[in-house]
Structure 1
Amino acid sequence: MKREIKDSIVVGAALFAMFFGAGNLIFPPAIGLFSGDQWFFSLIGFFITGISLPVLGVLSVSLSGGTISDLASKVGPKFSLVFSTILILAIGPLLAIPRTGATVYEIGVAPLGTFNPLLVSIIYFSITLFFVIKPSGIIDKIGKILTPILLLVIGAIIGTGLLHPIGIPVTTKLNNAFSFGFLEGYQTMDALGSIVMGGIILVALIEKGYTDRKKQIKMTTIAGLMSGTLLTLIYGGLMYLGASIGSNVSPDISKTALILKITESVLGANGLLVISVAVSAACLTTSIGLTAIVGNFFEKISKGKIPYKATVVFVCAFSAVMSVVGVETIVEIAVPLLVFVYPIAMVLILFNLLDRYLPHDAAYKGAALGAGLIGAVDAVKALNFRALNAIFEPIYTLINYLPLANVGFAWLLPALTLSLVFGLRAQRTTKLETSM
Structure 2
Amino acid sequence: MSKKNLDIIIIGFAIFATFFGAGNLIFPPYLGVLAGEKWYIAFAGFLVGDVVLSVLAVIVSCKYQTKGIGVLSRVGEKFSTIMGCIMLACIGPLMSIPRTGATTFEISILPLMPDANPIVFSVIFFAITLVLTVRPSKVVDNVGKFLTPALLIALAVLIIKGFLTPLGDARPDPYIDDLFATGLTQGYQTMDAFGGTIIAFLVMASIVGKGYLDKKEQISMIGKAGLVAGICLAVVYGGLCIVGTMVSMQYGADVEQTALVVAITGALLGNGGKVLLGIIIALACLTTAVGTTSAVAQFFAGVFNNKIKYEWLVIGFCVFSAIISNFGVNTIIQFSGPILSVIYPIVVAMILLSIFTEKIQNDNVFRFAAYMALLVSILTLAGVPVMQKLPLASFGLNWLIPVIVAAIVGFFVPSKKKEAVKEGGL
- TM-score scaled to structure 1, two decimals? 0.89
Name the aligned partner's letter for residue 169 of structure 1.
A
1:413 aligns with 401
CA distance 1:249–1:102, change in 2 (3 Å): farther
User: How many angstroms apart in 2 are the aligned matches of 1:374 and 1:178?
Assistant: 25
Give the Å deviation of 1:250.
Answer: 6.3
Give the Å deviation of 1:172.
Answer: 4.4
User: How many angstroms apart in 1 are the aligned matches of 2:417 and 2:76?
Assistant: 18
1:9 aligns with 9
Contact 2:22 2:284 survives alignment (8 Å): yes
CA distance 1:188–1:119, change in 2 (3 Å): farther
Give the Å deviation of 1:339.
Answer: 2.9
2:199 aligns with 197
CA distance 1:106–1:397, change in 2 (3 Å): closer
Contact 2:68 2:302 survives alignment (8 Å): no
User: How many angstroms apart in 2 are the aligned matches of 1:358 and 1:366?
Assistant: 13
Give the Å deviation of 1:90.
Answer: 2.3
User: How many angstroms apart in 2 are the aligned matches of 1:87 and 1:428?
Assistant: 27
Give the Å deviation of 1:319.
Answer: 1.8
2:187 aligns with 185
Contact 2:45 2:183 survives alignment (8 Å): yes
1:138 aligns with 139
Give the Å deviation of 1:253.
Answer: 4.2
CA distance 1:244–1:379, change in 2 (3 Å): farther
Aligned CA-pair RMSD = 2.2
Q: 1:360 aligns with which of 359, 362, 367?
A: 362
Structure 1 window deviating more from structure 2 (344-353 vs 404-413): it is: 404-413
1:48 aligns with 48
User: How many angstroms apart in 2 are the aligned matches of 1:428 and 1:89?
Assistant: 31
3-state SS in 1 of match to 2:270 = helix
CA distance 1:41–1:99, change in 2 (3 Å): farther
Contact 1:28 1:242 survives alignment (8 Å): yes
Name the aligned partner's letter for residue 118 of structure 2.
P
Question: What is the count of residue pairs matched by the alignment?
Answer: 416
- TM-score scaled to structure 2, two decimals? 0.91
Aligned pairs for 1:217-236 (under 5 A) are 217-236=219-238
3-state SS in 2 of match to 1:360 = coil
Contact 1:187 1:335 survives alignment (8 Å): no
Contact 1:363 1:423 survives alignment (8 Å): yes
Contact 1:146 1:281 survives alignment (8 Å): yes
Question: What are the ranges of 5 or more consecutive residues in structure 2 without an aligned counterpart?
Answer: 419-426
3-state SS in 2 of match to 1:82 = helix
Q: Deviations over 1:382-416 (max 9, x none)?
A: xxxxxxx4xx22x23432xx2x4443432222111
Contact 1:67 1:198 survives alignment (8 Å): no
User: How many angstroms apart in 2 are the aligned matches of 1:253 and 1:106?
Assistant: 19
CA distance 1:284–1:35, change in 2 (3 Å): same
Aligned pairs for 1:157-306 (under 5 A) are 157-170=158-171, 171-249=173-251, 251-306=253-308
User: How many angstroms apart in 2 are the aligned matches of 1:300 and 1:284?
Assistant: 24
Give the Å deviation of 1:219.
Answer: 0.4
Give the Å deviation of 1:179.
Answer: 2.5
User: How many angstroms apart in 2 are the aligned matches of 1:178 and 1:67?
Assistant: 37
Give the Å deviation of 1:305.
Answer: 3.1
Structure 1 window deviating more from structure 2 (146-155 vs 254-263): it is: 254-263
Name the aligned partner's letter for residue 402 of structure 2.
P
User: How many angstroms apart in 1 are the aligned matches of 2:31 and 2:279?
Assistant: 23
Structure 1 window deviating more from structure 2 (17-26 vs 216-225): it is: 17-26
User: How many angstroms apart in 1 are the aligned matches of 2:139 and 2:208?
Assistant: 13
Q: Deviations over 1:24-81 (max 9, x none)?
A: 1222223333444443332222112210011111110111236543321110011000
Name the aligned partner's letter for residue 367 of structure 1.
A
Aligned pairs for 1:28-177 (under 5 A) are 28-65=28-65, 68-114=68-114, 115-170=116-171, 171-177=173-179
Contact 2:380 2:388 survives alignment (8 Å): no
In terms of fraction of residues, the more helix-rich structure is 1
Q: Deviations over 1:285-307 (max 9, x none)?
A: 11001111121122211123333
Q: Deviations over 1:208-264 (max 9, x none)?
A: 100000100000000000100110111111122233323434654433322221111
User: How many angstroms apart in 1 are the aligned matches of 2:5 and 2:417?
Assistant: 47
Q: Deviations over 1:130-180 (max 9, x none)?
A: 111222211111111111101111011011112211123334442323232
Question: What are the ranges of 5 or more consecutive residues in structure 1 without an aligned counterpart?
Answer: 381-388, 431-436
Structure 1 window deviating more from structure 2 (98-107 vs 196-205): it is: 98-107
Between the two proteins, what is the percent identity of the paired residues?
36
2:422 aligns with none
Name the aligned partner's letter for residue 54 of structure 1.
S
Contact 1:99 1:326 survives alignment (8 Å): yes
User: How many angstroms apart in 2 are the aligned matches of 1:96 and 1:169?
Assistant: 34
